[in-house]
Each structure stands twice: as structure tokens, then as C-alpha cells.
Amino acid sequence: MNEKTVMKIKDSVDIFLSNERYLMVYYMNSRQRKSFRVNAEMVHLLETIDGEKTVAEITSIMAEKWGVDSECTSQIMDMLQENRIITEVIAQQDMLSEKLIKRYVRQINYFSEFLGSELEGIAAQKKLMDSTIIIFGCGAVGGNIAMQLVMAGVCHIILFDYGRNEPCDASRHMYFRKQYIGMNKVDSLKAELLRIDSDADVRCVMEWMKPETDVETLIKRADFVVNTLDEPYIGYTASKISRICVKHRIPHYIAGGFDAHLASTGELIIPYVTPCVECYTTHFREVLKDWKPKKHPVESRYTEIGGLASMSLFSSSYACIEIIKYITGLVQMEDSYKIRGEFLFHDMSLTYLNVKKNSECPICGRCEKDEP
Ligand SMILES: [Zn+2]
């Protein structure tokens, strides 16, 4: 621990003394609790760590006022830091300006509880800010994901959609404004993103996803890809995008296109680690092999399937949490990724599918480094 470093109790922990003998520590973000047997000197040390004094000043006070030698103070402070109870006070430094630290301080505090120090929290914030993310589909789910990612600090976004805003988007799109009706979705969404962060670099691609559309050139520019494009249909766009992403080892999230299942969580796909879109397709082919669709009795019908803004917000928020966890490295998603789930509002149940990565999958079954 550097002598000149200023230390403080982390903003994300609450500490209490129980019977003057136990220090109870509550980690507010992860909901963990720990207790430590403490003596009077340790309590004095915690009282001295006030976010203003340097390590050298704290060590000196502990020695002169309480008779604790410097090695003992240093060991206890190391223990407090290892247990994520104290952290160094962050000031403007190379990674992020003071203005940006203030803007994202709550997120940084949140990240730091999982990662350790607030400096690591800043590094996580920087990863978000340096990422380039493409969002295919700017509807209810894609639009909400874009807004939440820019709020989280993602500065480089590419929006891909051909559609225009319609009056019925009022009840589903968080970025809907009356004056946007008839306007391109990408342009209106870009306008809203720039209202959140005028420094964001937002590029728009107004195209249909056709078989001949070259999205590979676009995808190769990205660090992360989100697909919510449901035209011509989600199965087609997801398959096309996932194949390219797996080929270039780009992590991606398949979300949206949820007309048939309104509050799906979607799924994070880490190439060669999680099941890819083809693995999901194989799974459904297998579980539905005995299902014989019946002819529909009605020849033509009105098929605007219902939905609430809350439903698309649920899906987009779930997706954003997973995306942010992955990009920041907050959680080792390779070990704790989730398979697609579906949230049902009427009984508040969340049920996950049982899809496994298929070792025979033609897309992700064999790691390319294993190829002869
Ligand atoms: Zn696969």
C-alpha cells in the first residue's frame, strides 16, 4: 500500500459493531455479509480511515495515539482491503477524467464491489466506454438496449434498421416521441441517444437484412453485437448474425423478436463457450420433432400481437445486465451464463430452457484452433 495513498471505507459497504467485539460488514450490492472479531485498536483504525488521511498519516496516528506498530497497522489495512472493506480514494487520473468519474460514480462504486478497488471499477467503466456495439433492430427491445447502454457509458454505437416509427410504438418504445412518427427508427433513436450523451459516437445504417446484405464488414468492426431484428424473421437474422460472430469470435446477444413469447430473456452467446444460435435451433428441432402443426381454421386475420412497454423493458434490461457483466468482466460469464428464459407476467415465473452446447454443432461444435 503506497504511503501517499488516501484510503476510505468503501461506499458500497455498511459496517456496524456488535457487542464491541464483532465488526459486521454488509456488502450492499452483492448482499453478502461477513463478521470479523475486532479489538479496540482495530476500531480506532477504522475511525481513522476517513477518506482524507494518507496511509502514512494513518500509520503515524495509530503508533503515536494508540501504540500500534506500523507493521501491525499495515497488516490490518491489507486485510481490510483484501476483504473489500476499504479502498483508495480516486481522483482524476489517466484512465478517466474527473468529470466522467462524477458522471459514472454510482456505477463505478457498484463495479468496485465485485472487482475489488474503485480503480478496478474505473477500469471496468473504461471497458464499456471503449467498446463498439452494433445493435441490429431498433424497435422496443433494441431501442431500449441502446438507451440503457449509452446511459451506462457505451460511447460507440452502430444502429441497423430499415423501419419507420408508427403510432402504435407509443406504448412500446421508450424512445418514442410524437414527432418521430413516420421518421426512420435509426435517426430518431440516434437523436434520443445524443440527448443522453451528446458526446456519444452513434452511426446509423438504414438497410433491410436481406440474404445478400453484407453485415460481416459491419460486424467485424464491433466488440459486441446485439440482434433484435425480427424482419424478415428473428430466426433468420439470428442465424445469419450468430454464424458471422462465431466465425470472428465476437460475443453477441440475441434478444427481441419476441412476438411469440413476449418477455423472453434472450441469450448471451460467447463463441465456442455457450450454445450458439444453431445449437438452439437443433434443440428446438429435437424437442418439437413429434409436434404436427394443424391447419389454421382462419384464412386471414389481423396479427398485431399485443405487448406492453414493461415487457420489452424487462427483456432489454435483462439483456443489458448480461451484456454489461460480460464487457466489464464483473462476473466470469464463461462459467455463469444463462440459457434463454421466459418471464410470465401473470404468475411472475421465470423459466429457463434446458439447452446444451452441441458438440456436433456445425457452427460452434469444433473450435477452429482444433482444426487440423
Ligand atoms: Zn452451436
CATH number belonging to domain 131-370: 3.40.50.720
In the chain, the amino acid numbered 92 is Q
Taking ligand 1, which is a single-atom ion, which protein residues have CB atoms under 5 Å away? 276, 278-279, 361, 363-364
- The alpha carbon of 371 and the centre of ligand 1 are apart by a number of angstroms equal to 16
**Residue 152 CA: distances (Å) to CA of 98, 104, 105, 254, 272:** 17, 8, 11, 20, 28
Architecture, CATH, for domain 1-89? Alpha-Beta Complex (3.90)
Say how many Å lie between the CA of residue 281 and the centre of ligand 1. Answer: 9
pLDDT for 210: 87
Q: What is the predicted pLDDT for the residue at 368?
A: 52
User: Residue 222 has which C-alpha cell?
Assistant: 464491433
- Eight-class DSSP state of 264: B
Whole-number pLDDT of residue 289: 85
pLDDT at 300: 74
Amino acid at the residue 154: V
C-alpha cell at 347: 404468475
According to the model, what pLDDT value does residue 356 have?
Answer: 92
pLDDT at 145: 97
Instruction: Tell me what pLDDT residue 372 has.
Output: 43
* Helix residue ranges, H only, 83-158: 98-103, 105-115, 118-130, 140-152
Least Cα distance to 201 among 138, 148, 129 occurs for 129
Give pLDDT < 70 ranges for the chain. Answer: 91-93, 256-262, 301-306, 367-372
Give the type of residue at 159: L
In angstroms, what is the C-alpha Rg of the chain?
A: 25
Q: How far is the CA of 68 from the centre of ligand 1 (A)?
A: 60
* Domain locations in the chain as residue ranges: 1-89, 131-370
Cβ neighbourhood burial of 186 (10 Å; 0-12, 13-18, 19+): buried
